[in-house]
Every structure is written in structure tokens, then in C-alpha cells.
Structure 1
Amino acid sequence: MTAPENPLLSAADIRRLASELDLRPTKTLGQNFVIDPNTIRRITAASGTGAEEHVLEIGPGLGSLTLGLLDAAAAVTAVEIDPVPAGRLARTAEEFRPGAAERLSVVLADAMQVTAAELDALRPEAAPGPPTALVANLPYNVAVPVLLHLLAELPTLTHGLVMVQEEVADRLAAPPGSKTYGVPSAKGAWYAAVRKAGTIGKNVFWPAPKIQSGLVAFTRRQPPETTASRQEVFAAVDAAFAQRRKTLRAALAGWAGSPAAAEAALRAAGVDPRARGEVLGIEDFARIAAHRPAPTEGTPQ
């Protein structure tokens, strides 16, 4: 937990910085800045970040969480899409954490497109290696694609904690068979064990969102053993949930080439063709994808 002698950004600090930069938070970039130091301490502690780790932060904004992570970790790489707060972040860190310059790297980039090579090229001097943890207040409108992209792009990420819209948190952590289980749940499970780690109220943000936020923790694990690629497994997941009310035999007909071909693949995978996608785990989808019939001419890929 952050030591008392290390101050974090208060609501007054956030508004002062925003005024200095003439920064008006936008819905387009999903900008909701945390103004409560205790919430930052809670997130940092719950992330399980180790003192020797290099942490990746997405959307640092004005630096509320960045300061907490600098207290907890050896180094932080912060990826920010907005050039205005990105240009101020290093100076803010130095003001509140003198000597932090070698432990922080600010990367001006879109988190949905940033690559491991880009991050490695801009690694902080004090970083012990590539990022091993992801801790972030993710923009609500792109939280799932950003998380899935980073898990795919950075296999060095072994664990993390992200703050997202509470409904999204519930979906990411949902087990098979639950009402909220769907594409984010299944795809997230390919990479990691995911769980909901708490709820964050609306009033700790500026501007305050209309809904609560949820904390999602993940721990990397090996994907299911399968002869199918991740892309092939994810194609089966997408097809199964595109028509949730249909049986898998019907929902996967286009994916497999015909209802009969879908049934054959399902039976070969040991899955009841009358079942629906929301009852299957990622291991089931991996087996189904491995038994997809070879496409013939005119069959969708």
C-alpha cells in the first residue's frame, strides 16, 4: 500500500492539472479521472504488483494511478492516446515522485494497436524486462478489445487488474451457464483465469460516470490444448454467440458449411448439437474448432 509520505493526486490536483492543460474529459476517449487517493491505494494493493515488476498502464490520463504504481513497482510504462495529458505525465510524476524519470516511460499510442516491439523500444531505464503486470483504468467503450489485444500481444503479462464498466466486469468474469456469459467471457478464458475483484462507486471519478465500475483480476494460464489456432477457436466462439437463442447445430451452420457439418463437428467434439453456446467453456470451443470440416469451394472461411 502507498506510504503516507507519498502523496497521490487529490480532486484539487486533478482539476488544477486539467485547467493548466485546458483539458476537458471526453466521452470519445472514455476519460473519467480518478480523484480519490484511497481508491488508487485500493486498486494498487488489489493488483498484487510486486516491487520488482514492470507494470503496463493503459490510459493514465493525468496520472492518478501512475503515481500509485510507481510506489508499488520497479517501473511503469504508460500508454496514452491523448497527446495533451501524455505530454504532462512525466513532469507530474517527477513533481510528486522526484527521481521517477528512469522508472517511467510514456508511450503516445492507441492501446488497441500498440505492439510488444514498440513497448520494448521505449522501455523505462529501470525496467527489469518486458511488462509482467497490467494495471489500468480502461476506457469503458474499448475495454474488452484492449484487454484481449494486450493479452495476445504481450505473453509476458502474467497477471493484472483492470477497472471497467461494472457490466463489462461481470461479463469478463462470468462462468459458463450464467446469464452474463458470452464472447468476452470465453475469449478472456483462453488467456487467463478471470475473476471480479470488487466494485468502485461513481463519485470517485471526474466527471462521474452514470454507472459503477468493476475491478477485474486475471492470472495468465496456458490455453487449452488443441490442434486449432486461437483465431479458429475464436471464430467458433463468435459464431456460437452471434445467434444466442439458436442451438449450436443451427448457430454453427454457416461456420461449418451446413447444419449437418456443424452437427458432425459437435458430435466429434463430444458436444450435444442441441446445446447453446452459453453452456460451453473455452475447452469445448477448442475441441469444436479442431473438428471443423475442411472448407470446400464456396464455404465461408
Structure 2
Amino acid sequence: MSGGGPELLSAAHIRDLAEGLGVRPTKQWGQNFVIDPNTIRRIVGLAELRGDEHVLEVGPGLGSLTLGLLDEAAKVTAVEIDPALAGQLPETVALMRPQRTEALRVVPEDALRVEPEALRWEDDGPEVLVANLPYNVAVPVVLQLLQVLPSLRKGLVMVQEEVADRLCAGPGSKIYGVPSVKAAWDTRMRKAGVVGKKVFWPEPRISSGLVRFDRVEPASQAVTRQEVFAVIDAAFAQRRKTLRAALAVFAGSGARAEQMLRTAGVDPQARGETLDVGAYTRIAEARRQLPEDTA
């Protein structure tokens, strides 16, 4: 083993486990397994676990990160969509961390469809999300879990580097978009590092990014997350249009859209990519004030 500390899965371990299961990483489930123990140690370190927390891992795969998390967390709930991998994970932990088998619970489900109650451990909801997320569903998974798990306080996720940049982008940036604004609703996100391609099997086409997030108070108490997200979706559906034009259908007409925007203190000629989440909450609040009979 390298880097000191308890043994983690090496490239040889990963390939042997996969061969034994007859598993080949699939694009369908966005599987890229981490084969470098030092990368696992880096991820766990950046997650800044206290030792008494309930950690949620999505897409544990063959267990590289799971072992590292079990060394630092009180307990780990792992959500795995692949039945073969979900079945193997407890066996890998029993072999490599026999003293920690009771600290792992595997939920063999799709993270986008799993019921929040299935992620609770007795009366304890997950407090931290740490995951190497499948590239094809990374943003929906993060936003879904933040919505359904109010217990989540912080997290560290590894995603495609472009996705990491989008999640952390600010207004006015070329890559600022729907994920950027929605993530800012109740979290503060920052890029915590880059992970090269060679630490994965199979090797992805581009590098990965590490995103650290901390939960903050929602941007507004006066409107719901759903109301604000509906405005965001409408504004970015026609990105090159002014907000007055982009929100015309959403508001009922161009005139209503302009009235709504002016009530919110937003320039109707502005474009969606220039607004922060606070502006979107004001637009959602203003929409509530629109009279039903306005033309």
C-alpha cells in the first residue's frame, strides 16, 4: 500500500474484483472507478470529516472511496444502482475492514428515485455527501439530494471538471447557467481541486473536478424552492433573449413579464446569465403579486 494508513483498493484490487464479478464499467451508469489510493485519501481529507458523522456515498462502485470513508466517518450509507456492485460491497468491506462492517449500509437503488426515508439510519439522516458521482447524472443527483435531505450540511463531490466549474460559476460568467443558480439557492459551492484522468478505470476523456459545498440558509423564506427554480428554468430556456422576452410565456405575456421584472427591481432588458439567485427569488416573489387580470 502507498501513502500510509489502512490499506485501500489498488488498481490490481479493482480489476480483480471486477473480473470476479464479470463487471465491465458501463457508460449507461457513468461508471469510472478510482484506482489510486492517494486520490481516495485526498478526497476524504478535503471532505473534513469529524469522525462522528453519517456520510452518504452515491455510486460507491467497487468500494474504493467507501473504505476511505469508513476510516473517518461514524457510518456510511452507500446508494448503488448496479445490483452486482451493491451485492459485492459488503463483502469487500468485510474482507478489508472487518471491524467496520456494522458501520456500512448499502441501499441498492437509483439515487434519483430513492425515497429519503431509505437513507435514514434509525432516526439519523445523512449529514455529509461524499461521492465520485456518475458524470451523466451528477447535477440532478446533487440538486435532488439537497432538496429531499434537509439533514445534509456539507459535501465533497467529484464530477466532470466542466460540471464542477458550472456549479461554482458566478453571474456574468460564460459558463454560468441553471446548475450555478440552483446550487446557490441553499449552498455555497467552491472548487476544491482537479483530478487527472489516469487515476480512473476506464480512463475518462477529460479531467474531473472536486466541489466542496456547505449548506446555507435558502435565498428566500417568502417563496419556495420550486417557485424560484421555475423562474430560473424559464429564464435560461431562451438564454440569448432578454428576460422580458424569455419570461413572457412564464408570466402570461410580455407586458406581465415586464411588470413582474420591474416589481422585482430587475431590468427587463437584462439577460438571465447576469442575475444572481437573489434576483431570481425577487422575480418569484413579484410573480405572486401579479393581478390575475393583467393583460
What TM-score, normalized to structure 1?
0.94
Give, in angstroms, the shift of residue 151 of structure 1.
Answer: 0.3
Alpha-carbon separation, structure 2, partners of 1:197 and 1:117: 30
1:182 — aligned with what?
177
1:221 — aligned with what?
216
Within 5 Å, give how 1:124-143 maps onto structure 2. Answer: 129-143=124-138
Residue of structure 1 aligned with 2:161, choices 166, 170, 176: 166
Q: Deviations over 1:244-300 (max 9, x none)?
A: 111101111111011111111111011111111111111110010111155859x9x
Within 5 Å, give how 1:25-174 maps onto structure 2. Answer: 25-120=25-120, 123=121, 129-174=124-169
Does 1:235 find its partner at 2:233?
no
Residues 148 and 135 of structure 1: CA distance in aligned 2, closer, same or farther (over 3 Å):
same
Alpha-carbon separation, structure 1, partners of 2:113 and 2:87: 20
Alpha-carbon separation, structure 1, partners of 2:198 and 2:15: 15
Give, in angstroms, the shift of residue 227 of structure 1.
Answer: 2.4
Alpha-carbon separation, structure 1, partners of 2:219 and 2:25: 41
CA contact (8 A) 1:80 1:86 kept: yes
What SS class does the counterpart of residue 240 from structure 2 fall into? coil
What TM-score, normalized to structure 2?
0.96
**Aligned residue identity for 1:38:** N
Total equivalences in the alignment: 292
Alpha-carbon separation, structure 2, partners of 1:100 and 1:60: 16
**Aligned residue identity for 1:213:** S
CA contact (8 A) 1:192 1:220 kept: yes
CA contact (8 A) 1:236 1:289 kept: yes
What SS class does the counterpart of residue 191 from structure 2 fall into? strand
Gaps of 5+ in 1: none
Alpha-carbon separation, structure 1, partners of 2:46 and 2:245: 43
What SS class does the counterpart of residue 165 from structure 2 fall into? helix
Give, in angstroms, the shift of residue 39 of structure 1.
Answer: 0.3
**Aligned residue identity for 2:166:** R
What SS class does the counterpart of residue 172 from structure 2 fall into? coil
Residue of structure 1 aligned with 2:204, choices 185, 204, 209: 209
Give, in angstroms, the shift of residue 72 of structure 1.
Answer: 1.0
What SS class does the counterpart of residue 94 from structure 1 fall into? helix
Alpha-carbon separation, structure 2, partners of 1:83 and 1:105: 14
- Identical columns (%): 62
1:253 — aligned with what?
248
Q: Deviations over 1:150-186 (max 9, x none)?
A: 0001011000000001110000000111111000000
Alpha-carbon separation, structure 1, partners of 2:82 and 2:245: 44
Alpha-carbon separation, structure 1, partners of 2:87 and 2:106: 8
CA contact (8 A) 1:130 1:156 kept: yes
2:259 — aligned with what?
264
Give, in angstroms, the shift of residue 115 of structure 1.
Answer: 2.0
Alpha-carbon separation, structure 2, partners of 1:176 and 1:72: 36
Alpha-carbon separation, structure 2, partners of 1:175 and 1:48: 25
CA contact (8 A) 1:137 1:164 kept: yes
Aligned-pair RMSD on alpha carbons? 1.7
Gaps of 5+ in 2: none
Residues 178 and 5 of structure 1: CA distance in aligned 2, closer, same or farther (over 3 Å):
closer
Residues 44 and 15 of structure 1: CA distance in aligned 2, closer, same or farther (over 3 Å):
same
Residues 76 and 3 of structure 1: CA distance in aligned 2, closer, same or farther (over 3 Å):
farther
CA contact (8 A) 2:3 2:38 kept: no
Residues 69 and 244 of structure 1: CA distance in aligned 2, closer, same or farther (over 3 Å):
same
Alpha-carbon separation, structure 2, partners of 1:38 and 1:266: 50
What SS class does the counterpart of residue 99 from structure 1 fall into? helix
Within 5 Å, give how 1:5-24 maps onto structure 2. Answer: 5-24=5-24
What SS class does the counterpart of residue 208 from structure 1 fall into? coil
CA contact (8 A) 1:226 1:290 kept: no
Alpha-carbon separation, structure 1, partners of 2:217 and 2:76: 25
